[in-house]
């Protein structure tokens, strides 16, 4: 409006209601409607001066449309509740329906209307209309004491079924150390592998980057698991953790 004052010379020549418009195209129409009403009320439907003035003001509005920045005002927020203002910006908004971000600085409401007809927004609306919310599949249910006891028993059963005392990392380190320096133990392991018809393979070391090497070490143990199990069960002084693991028929499954 200040730029128009410099051009027109007096802002009173421009209808004051144009100041309330965020959409500049609506402001142009407001100027035209205002002067048309004045012409009719004054009895001069063919008033050439007023027509010329309308054209001048309209031209000025159109020239400055690109220079005016519209903001995302409360009225737009109320009419389009799915739009949220982007933090740190007066005219950038985000659409909750299609997650797109766009600016309303050029035309305000018309920018929003342009967004509503984009392919991305329309496809998001169609998808939302044809899909059901996941909350519709769940019901709020306050169970009695009997139902709560049953639910607790199921959780306790799952807890006790899972094996919690197996320290896999400690186990593979213990196994590797037994065959690290003693040639005799390696020779005996080879014999047990031959006995159970398993091809012997050297055990891998569990390195310093344990979260990376643990998988390969476990895979190496599984490849000769039957030979290792037979060897440890034959030893009188087998470490307790390894013996307990080998005695368990589900030991290989845990690995």
Length, in residues, of the chain:
255
Residue 229: is its pLDDT beyond 60? yes
Q: Is the pLDDT of residue 29 over 60?
A: yes
Residue 4 has pLDDT above 70, yes or no: no
**CA 170/CA 240 separation, integer angstroms:** 12
Contact between 84 and 28 (Cβ < 8 Å)? no
- For the entire predicted model, the pTM comes to 0.35
Domain boundaries, given as residue ranges, for the chain = 2-67, 74-130, 168-254
Q: What percent of the chain has pLDDT over 90?
A: 11
SS3 94: strand
What pLDDT digit, counting tens, does each position of 136-156 carry?
Answer: 777 766 777 888 888 888 888
Q: What is the mean pLDDT of the chain?
A: 75
Q: How confident is the model at residue 118 (pLDDT cuts 50, 70, 90)?
A: very high
pLDDT of 37-91, one tens digit each?
Answer: 554 445 444 444 455 555 666 666 555 554 567 888 888 889 999 999 998 888 8
Query: Cα–Cα–Cα angle for 201, 204, 207, nearest 5°?
Result: 175
Residue 252, pLDDT > 90, answer: no
Q: Is 46 exposed, middle or buried (0-12, 13-18, 19+ CB in 10 A)?
A: exposed
pLDDT above 50 for 21: no
Give the pLDDT confidence score for residue 68 in this predicted structure. 62
């Amino acid at each position: 409006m200040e730029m128009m004052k410099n051009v027109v010379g007096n802002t009173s020549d421009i209808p004051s209601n144009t100041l309330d418009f965020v959409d500049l195209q609506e402001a142009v129409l407001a100027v035209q409607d205002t002067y048309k009403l004045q012409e009719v009320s004054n009895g001069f439907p063919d008033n050439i001066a007023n027509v010329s003035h309308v054209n001048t003001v309209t031209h000025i509005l159109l020239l400055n449309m690109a220079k005016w920045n519209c903001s995302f005002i409360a009225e737009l927020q109320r009419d389009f509740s799915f739009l949220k203002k982007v933090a740190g910006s007066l005219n950038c908004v985000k659409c909750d329906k299609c997650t797109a971000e766009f600016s309303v600085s050029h035309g305000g409401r018309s920018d929003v209307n342009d967004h509503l007809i984009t392919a991305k927004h329309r496809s998001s609306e169609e998808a939302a209309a044809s899909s059901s919310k996941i909350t519709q599949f769940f019901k709020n249910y306050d169970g009695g004491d009997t139902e709560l006891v049953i639910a607790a028993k199921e959780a306790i059963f799952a807890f006790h079924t899972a094996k919690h005392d197996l320290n896999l990392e400690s186990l593979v380190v213990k196994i590797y150390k037994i065959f690290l320096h003693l040639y005799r133990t390696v020779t005996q392991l080879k014999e047990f592998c031959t006995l159970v018809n398993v091809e012997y393979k050297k055990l891998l070391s569990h390195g310093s980057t344990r979260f990376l090497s643990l998988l390969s070490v476990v895979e190496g143990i599984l490849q000769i698991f039957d030979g290792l199990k037979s060897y440890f069960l034959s030893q009188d002084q087998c470490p307790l953790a390894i013996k307990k693991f080998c005695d368990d028929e589900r030991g290989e499954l845990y690995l």
